[in-house]
Structure 1
Amino acid sequence: MSENVLRQNGQLVRNDSIYGLSSLDMTIEGTSDDVTVVDAASLRRQIIKLNRRLQLLEEENKERAKREMVMYSITVAFWLLNSWLWFRR
């Protein structure tokens, strides 16, 4: 994927082959303040969404770790009991 970096209105604009026109059009059409406000709001929404996803993944990971600990404990207890019964014979 070819990437070009253009300097326009004192800002660096990344021109990807896929998103090049939209980011370039936004910079040309609006003033730099308007674009900054729109970009800030968009980035804030993306950060909030990513934060929610990250929190859900962390909760799932904690629950999985708890389940694994219970399963490992049950497995170790089973083998210890089984070994003790076998040695007792």
Structure 2
Amino acid sequence: MTDLPALDQLDPQLAALLAQLWRAAQSGDAPWSLARLAKQSGLRMSTLLRSLNLLLEAELAQARIGENSRGRAWLSEHGLACCQVWFGSNASG
């Protein structure tokens, strides 16, 4: 994980979504709905979907999304490991 960019080098929208996906993972709840992720991250749904697609392509997240853009998203194993570096209790950046 040493090749990860610093958190402050990530696109702010991606960082906001990653932070909420990490928060959801830490809560132990079922994967959060896209609506909840949008509200918690402060992103419009269209922005959330674009950001989520980037995370899916990077294999940092997984999702189930219906035709009506309703669905749920969660961190992949790789995403969990990256977020532990970025947001974990010992993270500095």
TM (norm. structure 1) is 0.24
TM (norm. structure 2) is 0.24
Q: Which has the higher contact order (CA 8 A, sep 6+)?
A: 2
Higher helix residue share: 1
